[in-house]
Structure 1
Amino acid sequence: DLMLPSYIQEHYQFFQYTADHTLSAYLNEKIDPSVYSNNHLSVEQKKHYRKYVDWSLIPSKYRTVYKNPITDDQEGDPQLIEKAKKVLDPEVSPLLVDDQKLAKLMPTYILSVGHDRLRDDSFIYEGRLKRVHVPVVHDHYEHTFHGSIGFLNGPFALDIAHEMINGVVKYFKENL
């Protein structure tokens, strides 16, 4: 769902990117930015996938961004629907994995940040894992941005990057 609050909220980042840029790079194909209005799904697909993207799992403080309820009654663009088939693969979009498969996952570690279009996906994924009784640790760093974990050294080093790395290392030491 590319209308999640974290997708439509402004994120002031050093390295601005959009979902269409990211997907274009991953899939090696140009993605139309109109996917942001969920124009890449048919009405039937929207109804099917809605159960996987449960907005109630997003903390309420983030859900204040949208103004109108999401509707599933608008048919998407046929060309985008065809192109989106790759994006709807659970290997690309882990939120689209059904609960039976999610329940078979090993204990999971999720790291997310406040200024990131993927922020809400992380809360939804965490909630879905918990619903199927998969042990999950979710470390959320509210006041930093996507990619900040890479600022470990040099003139732009961030203390939060070291804190994030330490959290990952701690999790693996305790769980491997």
Structure 2
Amino acid sequence: MEQHYLFFQYTVDHTLSMYLNEKIDASIYANNHTSVNQKKHYRKYVDWSLIPSKYRTVYKKSITDDKEGDPSLIAKAKKVLSPEISPLLVEDEQLAKLPPTYILSVGHDRLRDESFIYEGRLKRVGVPVVHNHYEHAFHGSVGLLYGPLALDIAHEMIGDIVKYVKENL
């Protein structure tokens, strides 16, 4: 696990537990929350070639799709796989119906790679996308506008969001 992320991996189970309103334990890291059929179905949506090559160098051996998940965890995780929580995992036909999209991502974030995959999938289905990536920022930076922890990059991010909204509404 790379320690430079603010959104540490060990918080994923906690975050999912909040979404589901039930306890999810760390066994989810072994990809036990999906069945073999689900793994095969969702694999096509997670196209690592859409991630810039400089980030792909950290990947280890691909996850195998032949391991059946834990039935109780699969049942609990069903809600997490919904389009509202996991928009990356929806069919292309659904993605194509989305409006022009603004994506903000940062270099130090467990969700960074998903932002590039999502951008690529949206572009493939014809959705106009503006993706601003802030390489040296971290998860939550955009909220640090004032006070002793204020960051200049947060103001830049907000400025870019406002600019996009003004140009696209």
Does TM, normalized by the shorter one, top 0.5? Answer: yes
Q: What is the distance in 1 between the residues matched to 2:4 and 2:20?
A: 24
Per-residue deviation, residues 109-137 of structure 1 (Å, max 9, x unmatched): 00011111111111111000000010000
Q: Is the 8 A contact 2:144 2:151 kept in 1?
A: yes
User: Residue 94 of structure 1 aligns with which residue?
Assistant: 87
Which structure 2 segments of 5+ residues have no match?
A: none
Matched, 1:170 2:168: no
Per-residue deviation, residues 13-36 of structure 1 (Å, max 9, x unmatched): 3x7562212111222221122212
Q: Which moved more, 1:68-77 or 1:137-146?
A: 68-77
User: Residue 136 of structure 1 aligns with which residue?
Assistant: 129
Q: Is the 8 A contact 1:115 1:146 kept in 2?
A: yes
User: Are the structure 2 counterparts of residues 12 and 119 from structure 1 closer, same or farther at C-alpha, using a change threshold of 3 Å?
Assistant: closer
User: Residue 56 of structure 1 aligns with which residue?
Assistant: 49
Amino acid at match of 2:63: I
Percentage identity across aligned positions? 79
Q: What is the distance in 2 between the residues matched to 1:78 and 1:127?
A: 32
Which structure 1 segments of 5+ residues have no match?
A: 1-7
User: Residue 19 of structure 1 aligns with which residue?
Assistant: 12
Q: What is the distance in 2 between the residues matched to 1:130 and 1:10?
A: 32
Q: Which moved more, 1:58-67 or 1:143-152?
A: 58-67
User: Are the structure 2 counterparts of residues 89 and 12 from structure 1 closer, same or farther at C-alpha, using a change threshold of 3 Å?
Assistant: closer
1:51 Cα deviation after fit = 1.1
Amino acid at match of 1:59: P
Q: What is the distance in 1 between the residues matched to 2:137 and 2:76?
A: 33
Amino acid at match of 1:40: H
Q: What does 1:1-176 correspond to in 2, within 5 Å?
A: 8-13=1-6, 16=8, 18-176=11-169
User: Residue 5 of structure 1 aligns with which residue?
Assistant: none
How many residues matched?
168
Amino acid at match of 1:60: S
1:69 Cα deviation after fit = 2.1
Q: Is the 8 A contact 2:143 2:154 kept in 1?
A: yes
Q: CA RMSD in A?
A: 1.4
Per-residue deviation, residues 68-96 of structure 1 (Å, max 9, x unmatched): 12211111112111111111111111011
Amino acid at match of 1:90: P
TM-score by length of 2: 0.93
Q: What is the distance in 2 between the residues matched to 1:12 and 1:104?
A: 33
